[in-house]
Amino acid sequence: MLQTIEPQYASHFDTEPVTLGPMTGATWRRDPTRLARLLEHCKFVAEAFKGFDRVAEIGCSDGFAAPLVKRNVGKLDLYDMDVAWAPYATQSGCDFRVHDIVKSGPLTARKTIEAYDGIYALDVLEHIRPEDEPEALMNIRASLMPDGVFIAGCPSLESQVYASDLSKAGHVNCKSAEMMRSYLQKYFRQVFRFSMNDCTLHTGFGPMSHYILCICVN
């Protein structure tokens, strides 16, 4: 065993180093502070879903942040429309399935998959065209237990002035905080809106929100 000056740290060198996936690695190299914000969004979900039995993430990409949620729930399944993420997302220890939430129907379309207690989609809805969004939300709702919870997270419409060209290239459906809450209320009985600026969670003035998080319940 490697010897360290403070012996309690020697065991750290026996642990295999973590390799970042393509999405997370690129984020770390281009803007490390953005990675901190992404992890904070997942931490919010992890705390909200603590103790839930079955949870699913829609739009997991490389799945690097999945362990934050996985450790707090009974089972976490990962979904993404792009099979390219499969080799990386499976390294999180979660089941990964290719699924387009607009075109493939509910997550439970396969008869072997039960409805979920919780579903979350971070940085997904803003990539779905407005005309396709109703289908996506109805499929999400149909994938939940009757008392299930859906958490949606999106950059705000106001934040797009400061977004990078790479981000804006895929953002076709950003909303203000009130627009997002009002829209989600069409599909869920109650919608609780939160905001996040940098890594600070708050319930402040919507137009000054950089990122919006909504907890939706039936």
Domain map (residue ranges) of the chain: 20-217
pLDDT digits (tens, 9 = 90+) for 4-42: 999 999 999 988 888 899 999 999 999 999 999 999 999
pLDDT of residue 218: 86
Which CATH number fits the domain 20-217, given the four candidates 3.90.420.10, 3.40.50.150, 1.10.10.10, 3.90.550.10?
3.40.50.150
Cβ pair 70, 76 in contact under 8 A: yes
**DSSP conformation class of 105:** -
Tokens 């869920």 belong to 188
CB 141 within 8 A of CB 189: no
First-to-final CA distance of the chain: 54
Q: What single string gives the DSSP state of each residue in 101-161?
A: TTTS--GGGSTT-PPEEEEEEES-GGGS-TTTHHHHHHHHHHTEEEEEEEEEEEEBTGGGG
Please, what are the averages of pLDDT over each run of 10 residues along the chain (218 residues)?
88 89 95 94 98 98 97 98 97 96 94 94 97 98 97 97 87 96 97 96 95 96
Sheet holding 95-98, edge to edge: 95-98, 75-80, 54-58, 116-122, 144-155, 211-217, 190-197, 200-202
Average pLDDT, the chain: 95
Q: What is the DSSP letter of 171?
A: -
Is the overall model pTM greater than 0.75, yes or no?
Answer: yes
Q: What's the pLDDT score for residue 1?
A: 67
Over residues 98-113, the pLDDT tens digits come to 999 999 999 998 888 9
In 3-state terms the chain splits into helix, strand, coil percentages (rounded to 5) of 40, 25, 35
φ and ψ at residue 187, rounded to 5 degrees? -115, -15
Euclidean distance between CA atoms 47 and 59, whole angstroms:
19
Identify the CA nearest to 212 among candidates 182, 187, 183, 175.
175
What is the C-alpha to C-alpha distance for residues 172 and 124, in angstroms, rounded to an integer? 11
Three-class SS of residue 61?
A: coil
